[in-house]
Amino acid sequence: MSVSYTSENSVYLDHNPTWHIEDSAWKAKQVMQMISRNHLHLKTICEIGCGAGEILNQLHAEPALAGVSFFGYDVSPDAFKLAKQREKKGLQFYNADLLNENNNYDLLLMMDVFEHVPDYMSFIKKSASQASLKVFHIPLDMNVLGIMRNAPIRDRKVLGHLHYFSKETALATLEDCGLEIIDFFYTPGIEVDNKTLKQKILNPVRRFFYMFNKDLTVKVLSGYSLLVLA
């Protein structure tokens, strides 16, 4: 999660002091996979709700993206302080609301963001006008295991999630916002979510069933998010 578009930024920082920098390399890897499999040729990439800026920092280091200019926006002063440390040639950060700007980027990244925004559909529509192509990373909180474990309310308190999605409702949301879905795939959060004994036990089970039925595994056992190109 790399968003700051909530009214409780100080609370979020208390619960997540690293701003999830430790997950950024993995998220950048997923973005690169989407760029590669769709043969995207880009000159500018912008991220809204960039947090500490490490996803953009990782992408900036990719040889395949040499010459691309990167821009990160976040409304949180705390996040901006962290992101500013990563600024360099071709990588700039702004403590500002992208929705107030009038830009035209090739690609907009929204990585684990709109589930935190009260009026999320208006937010998506306004953000989408800033770029030709959009990549969304969306947590899939609507699953059987998560509901049984009361995970949505935990994520609401700790991560600030206000809205909860399945693959179907996530895609429908983007289409209802007037976007055309070009490509999507599940991202295996279990690759970075191995911190507890329960996760270490459950993740091999998830991997096993995922080989046979991806949709059913995600709906029942969780552990995956959705990356969408629109």
Kindly report, residue by residue over 92-131, the tens digit of the pLDDT. 999 999 999 888 999 999 999 999 899 999 999 999 999 9
Q: Across residues 200-215, what is the average pLDDT?
A: 91
* Residue 13 pLDDT level (bands cut at 50, 70, 90): low
User: What is the per-residue pLDDT for 158?
Assistant: 77
User: What is the per-residue pLDDT for 14?
Assistant: 53
Residue bearing the bigger pLDDT, 64 or 146: 64
Cα 27 to Cα 36, 103, 201: the distances in Å are 14, 24, 23
What the block records as the tokens of 53 is: 């800026």
Distance CA 54, CA 25 (A): 8
- The one-letter code for the residue type at 178 is G
